[in-house]
Structure 1
Amino acid sequence: MKEHFSYDQRLGISIPNLEMEWAHNSEETQEAILFHWEKIRGSIPDRIAELENTINQKQAQLSNENNFKKSCDLNSEIAELASIINDLWLWYRANQIMADKMHQ
């Protein structure tokens, strides 16, 4: 599946890397890709929960932080984690659209 997926370091998951037209893949390959993606997609809520836990920890640090620069750094880190969560939800939801199109 390495030719159909690439690991996204920022998101912490592999994402589809479909360079070939979907219809040009054999039915067996299409099914394998969908099955692999479903396994990845199933892990997205757990990944989001990990990131939310990290955000909560950083927010707790932020509430006790008196150093302005450190507060700014924590805010930036929280914003980046929230952005990653948003992107993960987009990938999670995109699967339904992608799967519907692939099955047509």
Structure 2
Amino acid sequence: MERFFIWNERLGIELPFFEREWETYTAREREAILVRWEEIRGAIPDRVFAFERLINEKQAELFDEEDFETSCALNSDIADLASRINDLHIWYRINQEIEPRRHS
């Protein structure tokens, strides 16, 4: 069976992975893909919340941190987590029309 989703470690969710053009999938395959995507999409707010919690923890550490290099590392971690949240928001907005893409 063809894989339609692939795990994204950075975001902590599965993302669409199409080996063919969207139109070449059968109606049954497209329906299964959309059902699965809605399940994944429903978990995105929890992922965002988890990343926001980590940001808050790192901001609290940063507040008390006096070492410059450690402060820079914490800021970098916060920026990375914020970037993940942004990416999750983009994926969340992809409703039932998954962008057909060809992945190599």
Q: Same fold (TM over 0.5)?
A: yes
Alignment of 1:5-44 (within 5 A): 5-44=5-44
Deviations for 1:54-103, whole angstroms, at most 9, x for unmatched residues? 0000000000001111100000000000000000000001235x25x9xx
Which range moved further: 76-85 or 13-22?
13-22
Tell me how large the CA RMSD over aligned residues is: 1.9
Q: Secondary structure at 1:15's aligned position in 2?
A: strand
- Name the amino acid aligned to 2:55: I
Correspondence for 1:88: 88
Q: How many residues align?
A: 100
Does the alignment pair 1:60 with 2:60? yes
Structure 2: runs of 5+ lacking an equivalent:
none
Distance of 1:94 and 1:35 partners within structure 2: 13
Distance of 1:61 and 1:67 partners within structure 2: 11
Q: Kindly indicate which of the two structures has a greater share of residues assigned to helix.
A: 1
Distance of 2:63 and 2:94 partners within structure 1: 35
4+ aligned runs moved over 6 Å, structure 1: none
Q: Secondary structure at 1:10's aligned position in 2?
A: coil
Distance of 1:8 and 1:95 partners within structure 2: 19
- Name the amino acid aligned to 1:95: N
Distance of 1:58 and 1:16 partners within structure 2: 31
TM-score (norm 2): 0.89
Distance of 2:41 and 2:91 partners within structure 1: 8
Distance of 2:32 and 2:21 partners within structure 1: 15
